Chains A and B, each alone.
Chain A
Amino acid sequence: MIKTEQLQRHFKAGDVCVKAVDSLDINIGKGEFVAVMGPSGSGKSTLLYVLGAMDRPTGGQISINGRRLDQMDDQQCSDFRNRELGFVFQSFHLLPRMNLVRNVELPMLYAQIPAERRRARAEMMLRAVGLGERFVHFPAELSGGQCQRAAIARALVNSPALLLADEPTGNLDSRTGLEIIGIFQALNRQGMTIIMVTHDENMARHAGRIIRMRDGQIEKNETVSRPLLSALPEEIEKSLQEVFHAAG
C-alpha cells in the first residue's frame, strides 16, 4: 500500500542542512498497524506528514495505493488528504468554536457532500465512537478522551483507507490512551491501515509492527509477534463494524 524509495526530507537552517528524513525505504502493506517510534528529532513526525501529503519530500519517491505523492500538485494533495486518509493529532485539533457535529462535518464540506448527508454521516460517526449524546457539545465541554474520539470520527468520516496518528495518546492518561488504541485496533481489524507515531513503548506494543527511527533513518524495523490487546466496549466495536460495513 505504502512504498517509499530513498525518501528524503531535508530542511535548510542557515548554512546547515537538517536531514529530518534521509534515504528512507519503507514498505507498509494494506491493513497493517504500524507504530513509528524514536527520540525527539528522529524524523518520525516529519515522515508522518510526508506520508500524509502535508509536507513535500525533497527527494526520492513515495507512492500510496499506486499514486505518486511526490508528483502531485497542491490541489491533488488536498484531494488526497481529504478522501484517502485521515489524520489524528496529539492535541486533537478540533475547532473550538464549532460543535462536534460541525467539526466532524468539516472534511465532508471539502468533499462537497450535501448538507443532509453530511449531517447524517457525522452523527453516525460520532455514535460509532461513543459520542452519540454529545453532538452539539463544544470541544471545551468534553474530556480529552472524548475530544480524541471526536477527532477519530472526523478522520474516518470520508472513509479513508489510511489513518495517520501523531502521538494520539500523548495528551491522555494511560487508561484513556488505551481506549483510543482500542479504537485503532478495532479499525485495524476492519482492514484499515494505521500508522501511529508514539513515544510510548506500551502503546506501540499494540501495533503489529514497530519502526524505530534515529537521525532520519530507520534504526530497526521489528514485527510484534503478539501485539497487546486493548479491550473496547462491545457497543463501540459493534458500531464501528456497522460503519465499515455501511461504507462497503
Chain B
Amino acid sequence: MRLVEQVQTGLTGLLDHPFRTFLTMLGIIFGVGAVIAMVSIGAGAEREALEELKKFGDSSIRISSVEIQGERLAEALKKQARGLRMTDVAFLASACPFIELAVPEKIDEYGFYVANTKPLVKIVGVGDGFLAASRFEVERGRFFTDEEQANAAMVAVLGAGVASEVFGLVEPVGQVVQIERVRFKVVGVMKPQGAGSGKLAIKRRDHDRDVYIPVKSSLQRLERWPVEDKDLYHEINSIWVEVKSGYDLLAARDRIAAMLKRRHSEVDDFEIQVPLEILQQSQKTQNLFNLVMALIAGISLLVGGIGIMNIMLASVNERTREIGVRRALGASKRDIVVQFLVEASLISILGGLIGIFAGVAISWLIALYTGWTTAIPLSSVLIAFFVSISVGIIFGSFPAAKASTLDPVKALRYE
C-alpha cells in the first residue's frame, strides 16, 4: 500500500473520531506551543541583550560610584578616600596604556526650567569623548567642542524626549534653558535612545530624558548648597572606559579595579561592570533557562506521547476485527504497522502544526501585553516540529507492533 493511500486511510480513521483525535493532540499542542513560546522569550531576551551590548560596545568597561553612608563613610573619609573623582579619570587615562578613552559622567537632578515649565530631567555632565564611548548620536545641531569642555561653557544638548516635550514643534537648537540659576544655550538634540530594558543588568536610565552639559560646567557652575558629606563624597557618578583593541577586557578590568582601589585607600566605593562579561553570564543563565524549558517541554511532549500511545492502543483494540479483515484481504504485517504509525504520526504532526501556531500566537500576545521582546528562531520551530513527529513515531510504535502481531484468525473472530 502506498504512503499517500496510507495517509488518506489514516486521516479517515482519525476523522471518524474528531473529538478524541483533538483531545489526543492536546498534549502535543501544549508541548510544542510551550517550547515555541518559551524559546521566543529566551531568544527575545538574548537579542535584546545583544542589542544593548552593541550600544555599550564589546570593548567597554563601566566604573560606577557606590554610595556609602554612616560609619563606612566616616571611615572612608578618615582614610582620606574621596570617591570617584575627575582625578581618577585623568589618572586612568595616563597610567593605563590599554585605555583608549576614559569619560567622566556626573548625573544630578538639578532644577531645569524652560519658560514656565519645570520638566523632570537628569542633568548629565559628560567629558571629552562621550559620544564615542556611549555610541550615542546627535540628531540636530552638534555636541560640545573641546573648547567648550575646557572652558566649562554654558551649553547644553537635550535628550530627544526632553526636546520634544519642552519645545514641541519649535526648533530647540539656539534656545536658552535654565539649570538651577544658570542659563544654558541649547546647541544640539540627541537621537532617541529608547529606555533600557535592563536585560544586561546594567543600570540604564531613560537617556532620552537627559540634558547633557560639559562635566566641568556641572562641577564648577552648578554645585548645590548646602550639601552633606555623602553628597560631596563622589565628585562624579561614573567613568566610561573604552579599552584599546587587542587587550584582554577582563584583565583590563582587574587592573583598573586594583589601581582604583589603591587610589581609594582600599575603600569599596565603586563597582566595575563589563557588558560583554555580563552578556556572557546572561547567556549562561539563558542556557540554563533554556535547559529547564526544554525539560518542561520534554515532559509535556512525553505526556502527549503517552496520550497518543494510550489512544492508539484503544484504537487497536477497537479495530481488532478490521485488522483481521485487512490481513485476510492481503495486508502484510508491515502494512498494518505503517497504517497505525501513520495515524499516530498524523496526530503528532497535526498537533505539532497547531502547537507551532499556538506558540507563535502566545509569543505575540506576551510581546503585546508585557512589552517584552520575543523572537521565534526558525530552528526552534523546526526542532519542535521534528520532535513532535518523533513523538508520534516512537509512541505509535508499540501499538502498531501490537496490531501487526495479532493473529489474523483470532482478530477476525474478535467480538
Contact = CB atoms under 8 A, between A and B. Distances in A.
A53 to B, nearest CB: 9
A87 B12 contact: no
Contacts of B321: 93
Interface string A87-112: 10100010101100000001101111
B329 interface: yes
Nearest to B325: A93
B1 A75 contact: no
A173 interface: no
Interface stretch (B160-168, B210-218, B331-339): B331-339
B331 A78 contact: yes
B371 interface: no
A112 B2 contact: yes
Interface size class of A (residues with CB under 8 A): 20 to 34
A79 B327 CA distance: 10
Interface string B16-31: 1000000000000000
Contact of A110 (B330, B409, B412): B330
Interface string A216-230: 000000000000000
A54 B327 contact: yes
B326 A106 contact: yes
Nearest to B4: A115
B383 interface: no
A87 B333 contact: no
Contact of B330 (A55, A93, A111): A111
Interface of A: 49, 52, 54-55, 74-75, 78-79, 81-83, 87, 89, 93, 95, 97-98, 106-107, 109-112, 115, 154, 158
Nearest to A46: B409
Given A52-B328, A154-B329, A75 B334 contact: yes
Given A78-B335, A97-B16, 19 more contacts: A49-B409, A54-B328, A54-B412, A55-B409, A75-B333, A78-B332, A79-B330, A81-B327, A83-B330, A87-B328, A89-B412, A93-B324, A93-B412, A95-B322, A95-B325, A107-B330, A109-B1, A109-B9, A112-B2
B12 A82 contact: no
Nearest to A87: B328
A81 B329 contact: yes
Question: Which 9 pairs across A and B sit closest by C-beta, in order of nearness?
Answer: A82-B330, A78-B332, A110-B330, A107-B329, A93-B325, A87-B328, A54-B408, A81-B330, A49-B409
A109 B322 CA distance: 15
A95 to B, nearest CB: 6
Interface size class of B (residues with CB under 8 A): 20 to 34
Contacts of A75: 332-334
Nearest to A50: B409
Contacts of B324: 93
A109 B324 CA distance: 16
A98 B8 CA distance: 12
A106 B325 CA distance: 10
A83 B332 CA distance: 13
A52 B408 CA distance: 11
Nearest to A78: B332
Contacts of B332: 74-75, 78-79, 110
B228 interface: no
B147 interface: no
B1 A112 contact: yes
22 contacts: A49-B409, A54-B327, A54-B328, A54-B409, A55-B409, A78-B332, A79-B332, A81-B327, A81-B328, A82-B329, A83-B330, A87-B328, A87-B329, A89-B412, A93-B321, A93-B325, A98-B12, A106-B326, A109-B5, A109-B9, A112-B1, A112-B2
A78 to B, nearest CB: 4
Contacts of B412: 54, 89, 93
B328 A74 contact: no
A164 to B, nearest CB: 9
Contacts of A49: 409
Interface in B180-201: none
Nearest to B330: A82
A111 B335 CA distance: 11
Interface in B278-328: 321-322, 324-328
Given A87-B328, A89-B412, A74 B1 contact: no
A111 B412 CA distance: 21
A93 B1 contact: no
B301 to A, nearest CB: 30
Contacts of A82: 329-330
A94 to B, nearest CB: 8
Nearest to A81: B330
Contact of B12 (A83, A89, A97, A112): A97
A78 B323 CA distance: 13
A107 B335 CA distance: 12
B325 A78 contact: no
A110 B331 contact: yes
Contacts of A107: 329-330
A115 B2 CA distance: 11
Nearest to B5: A109
A79 B9 CA distance: 20
Contacts of B408: 54-55
B385 to A, nearest CB: 29
A78 B322 contact: no
Contact of B329 (A55, A74, A110): A110
